[in-house]
Amino acid sequence: MRTRSRDINIFSMSALDLFASALGAFILIAVVLFPYFPNTGDSAERVAEVRAQLERVQSELQSVQSQLGACETQRQEVQAALDACEEQQRTAVSQDALGACESRNQQLESALNRCQAQARKKFLLVLMSWGSSDDIDLHVIDPAGREFFYADSTHSGSRAKLEEDNTRGPGNEIWLHPAAEPGTYRVYYNYFGRRSDSGVRVRGAVLTPDGRSPFPVKRLRREGEKPLIATIEVDAEGNMHVSPR
């Protein structure tokens, strides 16, 4: 945006300068030519008249110079007021810009914190498999106490899900949480339906971004048996620790 001129013209400075210059020139010419004026016999009246004219001219010159000084003082005062106003405007703009930058920085920091919190959440996958015709169910209880199994494969407020359920082996079941919250997860095997005489051997493992951790092979012998197989600890930084039982 083009900046407007800040020069203040209270009066026509050029006209005042011209008037003052003309008066000065008149006085100078009068003084220089005074000896060549026609001799009037050195009349006291004529001398007094000329001196009075000179005094009036000098008085008018002083008055004009005084007006010029007053105008300059007034111009400086107005200019100082304008400078103060512009400085105040620049300060206001700077404060507004600073406020906008601080607000934007807070938004970016908040977004960064959310991204970091999301990055700390890692996927958690529990896998169970068996080789007989029996029906074995996988149960996982999350830190909030929600139990995932064939009858409740999902829960409100959680992204975890029992992805696969087999009612007759050989089979496998899978539970997956794409962004595990901090806390303790408990893994159980439930001997739901017995169809073999010698029981069933069940294998399992947990998969995380850090790798695969197998569970010890567990032999289930009687229907309704539901042992705790492992606990999985997830800390606030997303680190996971598996403790087989």
Establish if 1 belongs to a structural domain: no
Asked if residues 188 and 226 have their Cβ atoms less than 8 Å apart, the reply is: yes
Same domain, 233 and 219: yes
Q: 3-state DSSP call for residue 10? A: coil
Establish if 44 belongs to a structural domain: yes
What pTM value is reported for the model?
A: 0.53
Same domain, 130 and 113: no
Same domain, 131 and 224: yes
Same domain, 165 and 207: yes
Q: What are the DSSP E strand ranges found in the chain?
A: 124-130, 135-141, 147-148, 161-164, 171-177, 183-193, 200-208, 211-220, 228-234, 240-244
Same domain, 215 and 187: yes
Same domain, 175 and 110: no
Asked if residues 81 and 74 have their Cβ atoms less than 8 Å apart, the reply is: no
Residue 216's CATH number: 2.60.40
Same domain, 147 and 218: yes
Neighbours of 173 (CB within 10 A): 23
In which domain, by residue range, is 204 found? 124-244
The per-residue pLDDT for 40 is 47
- Domains of the chain: total: 2
Single residue among 118, 149, 183 that ends a domain in this structure: 118
Establish if 8 belongs to a structural domain: no
The per-residue pLDDT for 66 is 75
Single residue among 55, 84, 118 that ends a domain in this structure: 118
The per-residue pLDDT for 157 is 92
> Following DSSP, what letter does each residue of 118-144 receive, concatenated?
HHH---EEEEEEE-SSSEEEEEEE-TT
Same domain, 136 and 228: yes
Residues 125-151: tens digit of each pLDDT: 999 999 999 999 999 999 999 999 999
Same domain, 142 and 216: yes
Establish if 4 belongs to a structural domain: no
Establish if 86 belongs to a structural domain: yes
Single residue among 92, 118, 144 that ends a domain in this structure: 118
Residues 161-208: tens digit of each pLDDT: 999 888 887 899 999 999 999 999 999 999 999 888 888 999 999 998
Establish if 5 belongs to a structural domain: no
